[in-house]
Amino acid sequence: MLAQLIALDWGTTSLRAYKLAANGQVLEQRSLSLGIMQLPKTPRIIKGQACTDGFELAFDEACGDWLDAQPDLPVIACGMVGSAQGWREAAYRDTPANVANLGNSLQTVRSLRGVDVHIVPGVIQRSPLPNVMRGEETQVLGVLHTLQGEAGNDLLIGLPGSHSKWVEVADGCIVHFDTFMTGEIFAVLSEHSILGRTQQKGASFDGQAFDRGVQVALSVDGEIGPLSTLFSARSLGLIGDLSATAQADYLSGLLIGHELSALATAQRRRRNSVHLPSIILIGNAQLCARYSRALDACGFARVLLAEQATERGLWQLALAAGLITPNPSR
């Protein structure tokens, strides 16, 4: 089966490349540690030219052999590759942003191979505390396309990660989103604070410790906020009530619990209802499993997990941009 499209999810630390056939079927995929902050530096000859540009080198490493076999394959990319620090900046689109229309605003950069790389714009929410996303908008489109007839309903889409996003969608548009730096704060506290000094890596996920952390965040003690409760990850260890191997999962539950408690409060206020919306999660399966566990504890009754959202979103944007056709003839 011939490929029809190369789709790139190019973030800060990683580059995921997909070779897609008709209807977005994944023929092959690769994941490389070649994000925009970790670009290669060793010069290489590309199409007879000496190259030192990190973006060109990463692009060639990710899919050069695919293009050798099929030089006319169109290429589309989302993520931080379109940021001010990326290969070519793709201007943000303002909320409310119709994600299906983002394919009409692609930015193009010509590679040394003579192939145009079409970059998806991000989305900006202008407010006293502005919010931005790059890459997540494409995943949201992938989810909406899967839902099809239900795409007009109010949705809350969660994208757990270093900077977790919670995206409100109505009638196919991103209307509001919140960002929580939960994953990055966990990494910083574990690696660069006193909380990490007594942590030891456990053999497996400690669900009991994680649940305990979530419950502390949801308790009366948690109302004072994470800046106070975080110290319990150390103090419980000092009195022998939390083992060294349980501390990391306890801290994870504590931070995620505070995130979701704040999210639940905000959702009830915005919707003027005690009822919480259904959730669709996109992301790493293990991390989504943690969030599903905590969401249930926070009162979010219906949680679904989306698959292949990035690939599906990039395929739909390529269709909208005319890079591929619905029924390719070749």
Do 123 and 222 share a domain, yes or no? no
Same domain, yes or no: 216 and 121: no
pLDDT surpassing 70 at residue 330: no
Q: Is the pLDDT of residue 329 over 50?
A: no
Mean pLDDT of 35-47: 95
The reply to whether 304 falls in a domain is no
**13 and 136 part of one domain:** yes
Average pLDDT (104-114) is: 96
Question: What confidence score (pLDDT) does residue 147 get?
Answer: 85
What predicted TM-score, i.e. pTM, was given to this entire model?
0.93
Are both 94 and 205 inside the same structural domain? no
Q: Are 17 and 323 in contact (CB under 8 A)?
A: no
Residue 116 pLDDT > 70, yes or no?
yes
Instruction: Residue 195: give its domain's CATH number.
Output: 3.30.420.310
Residue 109 sits in the same domain as residue 33: yes
pLDDT at 25 over 60: yes
What's residue 1's pLDDT? 82
Distances (CA, A) of 238 to 190, 241, 247: 16, 8, 11
Report the CATH number at residue 47: 3.30.420.300
Give the model's confidence band at 293: pLDDT under 50 very low, under 70 low, under 90 confident, else very high. very high
Torsions phi, psi for 75 (to 5 deg): -130, 135
- CA dist., res. 79 & res. 111, Å (int): 18
Q: Which residues are within 8 A (CB) of 247 and not within 5 positions of it... i.e. 6 or more apart?
A: 195, 198, 199, 200, 209, 233, 236, 237
In the chain, the number of structural domains is 2
- pLDDT given for residue 301 in this prediction: 80
Are 10 and 70 in a shared domain? yes
pLDDT at 155: 77
Three state DSSP letters for 150-217: HHHCCEEEEECCCCEEEEEEECCEEEEEEEECHHHHHHHHHHHCHHHCCCCCCCCCCHHHHHHHHHHH
Give the residue numbers spanning the domain of 95: 5-140+310-321
Give the chain's mean pLDDT.
Answer: 94
| Per-residue pLDDT tens digits for 144-176 | 988 875 544 667 999 999 999 999 999 899 999
Which whole number is the average pLDDT over 223-236? 96
Is residue 165 situated within a structural domain? no
Quick check: is 233 in a domain? yes
Answer whether residue 18 shows pLDDT above 70: yes
For residues 211 and 102, state if they share a domain. Answer: no
Per-residue pLDDT, averaged over 114-122, amounts to 97
What per-residue confidence (pLDDT) applies to 20? Answer: 98
pLDDT in tens, 296-323: 999 998 899 999 999 999 999 999 999 9
Q: Do 116 and 55 sit in the same domain of this protein?
A: yes
pLDDT in tens, 50-69: 999 999 999 999 999 999 99
Specify whether 235 is located in the same domain as 294: yes
The answer to whether residue 74 is domain-embedded is yes
* 202 and 315 part of one domain: no
Backbone φ/ψ region at 171: left (φ over 0), alpha (ψ -120 to 50), beta: left
Helix axes 207-218, 285-297, angle to 10 degrees: 40
Taking residues 8-27, report their average pLDDT.
96
The Cα-based distances of 167 to 44, 112, 179 in angstroms read 41, 37, 9
82 and 60 part of one domain: yes
Residue 160: inside a domain, yes or no? Answer: no
266 pLDDT band, cuts 50/70/90, is: very high
Nearest to 4 by CA among 325, 252, 268: 325
Residue 149: predicted pLDDT: 58
266 and 317 in a single domain? The answer is no
